[in-house]
Amino acid sequence: MSDDLPRDAATDAVVDVDPAVLSAGHLRLDVEGPVVTVTLDRPEARNAQTPATWRALAAIGKALPDAVRVVVVRGSGASFSAGLDRAMFTGEGIVGEASFAELAHLSTDELDGVIAQFQRGFSWLRDPRIISIAAVQGHAVGAGFQLALACDLRVVADDVQLAMRETSLGLVPDLTGTAPLVRAVGESRALEICVTGRWLGAAEAVSSGLASLSVPRDALDGAVADLVAAVIAADAGAVRDTKAVLQGAALRSDEEQYAVERAGQARRFAALRLALGRPGK
């Protein structure tokens, strides 16, 4: 992260994750004040993901302390992530992991449990305590696209190529990416994107709401740093409560959403009372 990012007054947040778990998942974890950066660090394979990647991501989410305000997810090298490691489809598979052929022989309940574990690597990025930002360059395919979709905000480089390729493998997207995709582009367009597996470039990503902005590749780090700084500059409690108010808003009736807004504002006034030292009667 940039050296001029705002920091919490004293120390970096502590995110206690076993280094061996991170190494197995090809992840790098950096902490600067209240900002955690998770880097997919397998550039020689375009950051292809394995179940170990998802376990490592889930471990980070589980270890995240309240002091963390922003999580940035990025990929090293030319691409954000080329998606699932295709070795999962081979007879040899990946050492220490069940191949897809082996998963296919599990009972429905067993398979449900396995996939639920995979999904935990993605779902924590929507935790109301944090704002998650994906910095996406090059290819973000399948699991890579879904990892970007798991984040609250996406900043893309002008060379980005997004695609949901699961149907070409005889699969469906199952790493929590379908709901944010539908919320961003609508059900019809999401269906078209998923079943065709076509590429989406930077301009379409921004115009469709999949990305907040697109910048030249060499400006990606700076744009993300600026966005992080803007988030950190706002009141931490207000940011968290605002995210909680907005999450699920499209699925609620107007009256339900009004109630959520009132409850959120009540939490802010309670915090204000404490800050002023004048608790309510």
What pLDDT sits at residue 2?
Answer: 41
Any idea which residue has 């988030």 for tokens? 231
The Cα–Cα gap between 260 and 223 comes to: 32
What pLDDT sits at residue 278?
Answer: 60
Which pairing describes strands 131-136 and 35-40: parallel, antiparallel, or unpaired?
A: unpaired
Q: What is the pLDDT of residues 210-238, one digit of tens each?
A: 999 999 999 999 999 999 999 999 999 99
Of 40, 42, 20, 45, give the one whose Cα is nearest residue 30: 40
How many other CB atoms are found less than 10 A from the CB of residue 196? 13
Residues in the chain, pLDDT under 70? 1-10, 278-281
Contacts of 92 by beta carbon, 8 Å cutoff, 6+ apart: 99
Contacts of 104-110 with C-beta under 8 Å, sequence gap 24+, read none
What pLDDT sits at residue 90?
Answer: 85
Catalytic residues: 166
First to last CA, the chain: 45
pTM listed for this prediction: 0.92
What pLDDT sits at residue 124?
Answer: 98
Contacts of 138 by beta carbon, 8 Å cutoff, 6+ apart: 46, 75, 77, 78, 79, 80, 157, 159, 160, 161
Buried b vs exposed e over 167-181: b needs ≥16 C-beta within 10 Å?
eeeeeebebbbbebb
The Cα–Cα gap between 70 and 16 comes to: 16
Phi, psi of 37 (to 5 degrees): -115, 125
The angle that helices 178-185 and 143-150 make with each other, rounded to 10 degrees, is 70
Of 129, 131, 151, 126, give the one whose Cα is nearest residue 40: 151
Strands (E), 24-170: 27-32, 35-40, 70-75, 131-136, 139-141, 153-157, 161-163
What pLDDT sits at residue 4?
Answer: 41
Q: What stretch of H or E contains 191?
A: helix 187-196
Any idea which residue has 């924590």 for tokens? 124
* Domain 19-233: CATH superfamily, name plus number: 2-enoyl-CoA Hydratase; Chain A, domain 1 (3.90.226.10)
Token pair for 148: 């970007």
The Cα–Cα gap between 179 and 182 comes to: 5
What pLDDT sits at residue 8?
Answer: 43
Rounded to a whole number of angstroms, the CA Rg of the chain reads: 20
Q: What stretch of H or E contains 133?
A: strand 131-136
